[in-house]
Structure 1
Amino acid sequence: MIRQLVLELGHRPASGREDFLVAPPNEAAVALIDSWPNWPDRIVALSGPEGSGKTHLAEVWRAASGAVTVTPAELDTAGIPALVARGNLILEDLGALAAEGERALFHLVNLVRAESASLLITSRVPLARLLLTLPDLVSRLRAVPQAELGPPDDALLTGILVKLFDDRQLRVTPQVVAYLASRMERSVAAARDIVAKLDRTSLSGKRPVTVPLAAEILGRD
C-alpha cells in the first residue's frame, strides 16, 4: 500500500522508496496500483510526462507483485512465451516501441490474458495517442484501463519541493518553497533540477538557500 504523506514545511528525515506524495493529479493512478490484484483487467496502464511518478509507482507494484520489468526494445515475438512464463510484467515507456515490435506486443497482450498474468504498461502519453499501425493492437490497447498522472497542483508541487530539500538535508524556509512553487515550471522533473542546482550552488558558494538565491537560479533557466 502506498502511504499518503502529510508534509510539514521544514526539516524532516528523508522518506523511504515506498513513500509517495498523493494529491488529486495522481490519486487515480495510486488507487489503480493499490487495487491490485483486483484490477479491472489483466492489463492496465499509467501515462504521464517524464518525472510524474510512473516509474516510482511501477516500482511499488513490482515490489508487491514480483513483476519483471522489460522495455519495448526487448520484445521479440519468438521470446514472448518465455517472457510471460516468468509471471507478472512491467512494460516501461511504450512510446519507445518500434514499428517492428508491434506484433510482438500484440502477442504479449494476448498471452498475458490467456495465462492469467498481470501487465502494467507505462507511457508518456495515453495509449490512444500512440502512433501505432497494427489495427488489432490499437483495438486491444484502447480497451486497457488506464490512469493519467497530471502536472502537480500547488499542494503537490510544494510537497515535492519539501521532500526533495529534505532528501538532500537542506534547510529552507517556507518562503523559499512558496517562491519556487509559484514561479517554476510545474513538473516533478523541473523541481528535481532546481533543487539540485540550489544544492550545488549553496555548497560551492557556502551560501544558505534563500529567496534571492532561488531567484538567481530561476533566472539562469
Structure 2
Amino acid sequence: MAEQLGFDLPSRTALGRDAFFVAPSNAMALAMIDTWPNWAGGKLVLTGPTGAGKTHLTHVWATVSNATIIKAADVQGADIPTLAQGPVAVEDIPTIAGNSEAETALFHLHNMTLAEGHTLLLTGTPPVAGWGLHLPDLMSRLQGTTAASLEAPDDALLAALLVKLLADRQLMPKPALITYLLGRMDRSFAAAIDLVARLDAASLARKKPITIKLAAAVLDKAPPNT
C-alpha cells in the first residue's frame, strides 16, 4: 500500500471523552473530574505541564456539566453575572497574574458562580502556589481549593498522544514511526506537540509522507537525502 502523504488540511483536535487516553499519569485527575458535581466547595483546580490534557479534560467536563469555558484573560471583559448563571471553567489563570482588574474580575466570577449554586473548574500549569496572583482574597480562595494534577507522561501515554496529534492532522502513522519518535524525542507533552507540528510542516513542504527517514531529518534539523 502506498505511503500516506500529508495534505494541508485544517487540524481538528479531538476533545471528547473517548479521545482521552487514560494512563497512571492522568488517571487521578480524570477520576476527580468524574466526581462532579460532588466537588468540595463546588470547585476544582486542574494543573499539569503544557499539553498534559488540561484543556481536553476541561472540555470533557464542560460536555457533561454544560459549562461555559473561558480564558482567564477574557474574564475581565465578560458579562460576569451571566457567566455565573451556570458552571464555568476558567483556563490559564497564571496568565493574569499581576493584572489587578483581571484578578478582581475573576474574584467576582468565583464568588458569584458559587453563590448561584454552580461549580467552577480552574486551570493553570504550576500548582496554585505558583500562579503568582496578587489579590490576597482571590489567592486564599484558590489555595483552599481541591487540586488534581496531571503528571509527566509515561511511554504508553506519549505514544497515544503522538498518534492522536497526528490523527488530528488527518495523518495515520505506522507503529514503527511512533516507536522511533519515542526513542528520540524529549520526554514531555510540549515536545510531542512541537514535534508533530514540525513533522507535518516538513511533510507538506517536501510533499513526502512522514517516514522514519523524514522524522530523522526533522529531529536532526537537517534536510532528508531524498
Alignment TM class, shorter chain as reference: 0.7 to 0.9
2:61 paired with 1:61: yes
Tell me which residue corresponds to 2:160.
Answer: 159
Letter in 1 for 2:22: V
Tell me which residue corresponds to 1:4.
Answer: none
Tell me which residue corresponds to 2:95.
Answer: 96
2:36 paired with 1:36: yes
Unpaired stretches in structure 1, ≥5 consecutive residues: 1-13
Tell me which residue corresponds to 1:197.
Answer: 198
Matches of 2:74 and 2:168, distance apart in 1: 34
Give per-residue Cα distances to partners, 1:134-166, cap 9 Å, x unaligned. Answer: 222222111111111222211100111123334
Tell me which residue corresponds to 1:7.
Answer: none
Q: What is the 5 A alignment of 1:134-149? A: 134-149=135-150
Cα distance change, pair 214–111 in 1 and its aligned pair in 2 (3 A): same
Unpaired stretches in structure 2, ≥5 consecutive residues: 1-11
Tell me which residue corresponds to 2:117.
Answer: 116
Query: How much does 1:88 deviate?
Result: 0.8
Cα distance change, pair 173–93 in 1 and its aligned pair in 2 (3 A): same
* 1:171–1:209 CA contact under 8 A, matched in 2: no
Query: How much does 1:118 deviate?
Result: 0.4
| RMSD, aligned α-carbons | 2.7
* 1:50–1:189 CA contact under 8 A, matched in 2: yes
2:70 paired with 1:73: no
* 1:77–1:107 CA contact under 8 A, matched in 2: no
Query: How much does 1:66 deviate?
Result: 1.2
The alignment's TM-score, normalised by the length of structure 2, stands at 0.79
Give per-residue Cα distances to partners, 1:155-211, cap 9 Å, x unaligned. Answer: 100111123334445454333212211221223332233223323433543544332
Letter in 1 for 2:185: M
The alignment's TM-score, normalised by the length of structure 1, stands at 0.81
Tell me which residue corresponds to 2:51.
Answer: 51
Matches of 1:210 and 1:63, distance apart in 2: 36
Q: Percent identity?
A: 47
Aligned pairs, number: 207
